[in-house]
Amino acid sequence: MDNEGQIINIGITIVIAIAIFFAMSLFLQPLMNLIAGSRIDLNCATPGSITDGNKLICLGLDAIIPYFIIGALSIAGSIIIMRFAG
């Protein structure tokens, strides 16, 4: 492939990676609503009155959003890196 074709190919790859990241970020708001509802049901706001198992579940619920964002960034980044390496 000539130089101009490689530039266009890399540009299309970056646009696709950004589109995938935005598509995954659309799922953040419904996911946050589900997590908020679960936290209310588990009574995570008052840590003194819940069991240790519920505390662990509350911590796990709090970790979902950062892991989801890191996953979206890593998927988009891997698409770009895969194109540069290949």
Listed as ranges, residues in the chain with pLDDT below 70 are 1-2, 86
CA-to-CA separations, 9 to 4, 5, 51, 64, in angstroms, rounded:
9, 6, 54, 34
Query: How far apart are alpha carbons 44 and 81 in whole angstroms?
Result: 40
User: Could you tell me the residue ranges of all domains in the chain?
Assistant: 3-85
Residue-level pLDDT at 64: 93
Residue-level pLDDT at 13: 84
Query: How far apart are alpha carbons 76 and 68 in whole angstroms?
Result: 12
DSSP string, 3-32: HHHHHHHHHHHHHHHHHHHHHHHTTHHHHH
Residue-level pLDDT at 46: 84
What is the reported pTM?
0.73
